[in-house]
Chains A and B, each alone.
Chain A
Amino acid sequence: MPGDRYRNKQIIRVQGAKGSRVPVKIIPERLNSPLDALNPRTLYEYLKGAVMGKRVGICAVAQTTYVRDKWEQRFQGMGLDVLESLIKQTGVDFSEKNGIGMSINVSDDIFDARTISDNAMTDVLGGHFRCEEKVAQEGAQAIYYGLAAIMSGHTDLVLIIGHCKESQGKSRNMVTHLAFDPFYTRPVGLDFCAAAGLQAQAYAAKSGITDEHLADVVVRSRLNAVNNPFTPEAKVVSKEEVMKSPMLADPIRELHAYPVSDGAVGMILASEERAVEITKNPVWIKGVGNCIDRFFLGDRDPASNFALKKAAKRAYDRAGIKDPRSAFDVMEISDQYAYQNPMWMEGLGICDEGKGAKWLESGGPDRFNVNPSGGMLAGNPLILGGLVRSAEAVLQLTGQAGKRQVRDAKTALAHGVMGPAGQFHTVIILERD
């Protein structure tokens, strides 16, 4: 076969742009393609669309617990706990020669009530006379950005710390209300919860989701969350309790919504060379993808999963995944509201379009190991969703997930969502060797 000479290799280095040597990961099933020539350059051209050039690894993750009100800590304190754990795990420092080359904060000015919310974090991020930046978007986008900074050759070691205290505002809905434009949609009183209610209606009608289905999602999330030491306030609930909880935005009930939470999460990203230096079990970023939908709800089909489908396709293409249903050992998705759990699975291509109810009834969440942590329904602040999910995925892939560990997990998907009714989605695919 033309590709046989590469069959036993995991990685080869081929001629890249401008004389650089680009590591290319070999996908054995692709080697039988007639396009596979013996020439590494041709092989590279063929593979580069599907495979990311340079391997970047997550070397350590750290989290605080997520609770309703961390009144005893400022957000800097939460961040410091995360930083100290990361440094202890990896031994990295901020030295100019070999230390962290870029620190990325994830936070939000309006949640923090601070202009330039990362300004208060500069010392925690080691940003004194160093490079420090802030991603003011869904938390998993910090991984996307850190990945780009390492793949570009700008740095080989990136620190990410995200923080948020939803308890600081009278209501987080007041914050998300401000995401709406002041002319047409703010006067209606929309916030992310109300927008999600509209989407939930549309999705329930499309996929046959009932109040009972949603209650099952919450019951399962809580049962999982009891095994997650980072969500100490999550309690087991009965189906009846969920179905009797007050309505927030029909059909979303109070227990269908993620709890108000405070917390911080962080991780260290490194180039392949550095990753193997600072950790025994790096988790590789295999694919990333994100997408944004139209802003006005009336301009979209709210049940269509437009942005998530595109985000997922981009991530799958970059990771070289053809069949998502057989690709992942564990999936951590941001289900801010119960209806999103089956809906996002449709968008990710794990469940057939419009068959969310059937998928839930047939035990889909357990079959695909969706959110063994309890997911976002068990609690983490809005903007950190995807970053916390990615941290959980890393714990699973490195065998550190304790009671919620999925056996022999090798590949994972993490997902984050932001904006009214899932306007923006981001997907991260992780894999260990």
Chain B
Amino acid sequence: MKKNRNVAIIGVGQTVHSSHREDVNQPEMIHEAVSAALKQAGITIDDIDCIVHGNMELFEMVHQPDLWHTLGTGAYGKETLRVTTGGTTGATLVCAADHLVASGLHDIVLAVGFEKLQEGHTTGGITNMADPLWGRQLQTGALTGMTAADLIEEFGEERAKKASMKYRIIMDKHAMKNDKAHRRLGLEFDQADDLAKNSPALVGELRMIHMCSQSDGACAMIFASEEKAGKLCGQPAWIKDHITVHREELFCLFGGIPYMTTHKYAAQKLYERNGIRDPRREIDLFEMYDPSSWWGLDWLREFLLLENDGHIKMVENDEITMDGPFPVNPSGGVIASNPIGATAMIRVAEAALQIMGKAGDHQVKKPVNQAMASGFGGTMWTVLFLLTKEVPWQ
């Protein structure tokens, strides 16, 4: 969608994501990401006009945490905004920063997403999201075995389980090349059968190995107007478009009815708005919010508007690997690292790094001119981004 003015991503910073960051407190952890982003953008905190902050406050039980985190974000004396939308928070922070720069209110905006899940109870926190009268008894945190059951029903147990485990191992192989990733297990494809059988079951066929981690970590991104980006950054990543699609809490509670997913709806709208007819060819890379390898597998079909078993074939044919024709999550994705308030931002950040050519060891070989990144949260909510290497709107 054409905006008032173009917005560029000129710097990205991440902490190392880990299950325990006992060496730092929340502002100190955020400070690591902020410093790294400033360093990459080649600016100082004095150049930042406004700071956007977000996470899910019930996890750490800190009320309005941006107040305390001023120590780490560097917001002292600046304009600020705090936006939170659950799992999509990180992506919504990028939307907010995009609006603030595109509006002309600010020239350079810093956005910070973080979570220190070690300091709270993640599944307890997520269960608290459900309505206390109607939904809480049914809520199993973020763990759901429904997608696994659906895929097994549609494609047969053997094929579905194999594809899901292959997706998992591909993600681990990607994570092994990303030194910020939390879980780097060194899995090999010949372990697939053993893992499918022996990894502890969580809900139905969703096993521990399929599920994303609970991580401590932070991500910071710096956004600039076209004028500033031209002076500061040789090759920024440009935000061409983004779309947010939420959904009602108790929609389709009893299942059994075919329904439109927010992922598919968002993708259709985004492609339509930007004249994309064949996403697999026109988009070079996809950083997808994949909370489990079952969801990651299933959502490929939704986002890429595939029919029948197109998504399973993509995995079976190695299309989504780092060297494949349509790389998905060269960072290792959410299965590897999941500091929730930062997770969706990391998707956009990683896609941006690939465009900027700054992804390091997990930089894909093919040229990345147009990349997509997704955020997921709430009750199946989607935020979908389209980033480009060229300035999007003249």
Contacts and interface: CB of A to CB of B under 8 A. Distances in A.
Nearest to A419: B67
A133 B244 contact: yes
B378 A153 contact: no
B5 interface: yes
Interface string A163-184: 0000000000001111111110
Interface string B249-271: 10100000000101001000000
Nearest to A418: B64
A18 to B, nearest CB: 7
B45 interface: no
Interface string B19-35: 00000010000000000
B242 to A, nearest CB: 9
A14 B82 CA distance: 33
Contact of B245 (A119, A130, A153): A130
A183 B25 CA distance: 9
B57 A109 contact: yes
Contacts of B151: none
A53 interface: yes
Nearest to B82: A137
Interface string A96-133: 00000010000011100111101110110001111111
A152 B84 contact: no
Contacts of B131: 120
Given A110-B61, A152-B4, A419-B64, A116 B76 contact: no
B51 to A, nearest CB: 8
Which of A17, A115, A151, A291 has most B Cβ within 10 Å? A115
Nearest to B243: A131
Interface in B60-78: 61-71, 75-78
Contact of B67 (A17, A145, A182, A292): A292
B312 interface: no
Nearest to A141: B81
B61 A115 contact: no
Contacts of A116: 56, 84-86, 129, 377-378
A224 interface: no
Contacts of A20: 4
A119 B86 contact: yes
Contacts of A118: 85
A151 B75 contact: no
B63 A175 contact: yes
B63 A179 contact: yes
A133 B377 CA distance: 12
Contacts of A135: 81-83
A46 B244 CA distance: 36
A140 B50 CA distance: 16
Contacts of A114: 58, 128-129
B129 A310 contact: no
Contact of B62 (A150, A154, A178, A307): A178
A398 interface: no
Interface in A378-412: none
B228 interface: no
Given A115-B86, A134-B83, A17 B58 contact: no
Interface stretch (B10-18, B92-100, B358-366): B92-100
Given A132-B246, A136-B83, A289-B79, A154 B1 contact: yes
A143 B108 CA distance: 20
Nearest to A116: B86
Contacts of B100: 148, 152
B394 interface: yes
A243 B102 CA distance: 51
Contacts of B6: 18
Contacts of A53: 4, 103-104
6 tightest Cβ-Cβ pairs between the two chains A and B: A151-B103, A152-B102, A116-B86, A137-B82, A131-B244, A178-B63
17 contacts: A17-B5, A120-B131, A122-B249, A122-B379, A129-B260, A136-B82, A136-B84, A152-B102, A153-B2, A179-B62, A179-B65, A180-B68, A291-B80, A292-B70, A294-B70, A423-B67, A424-B80
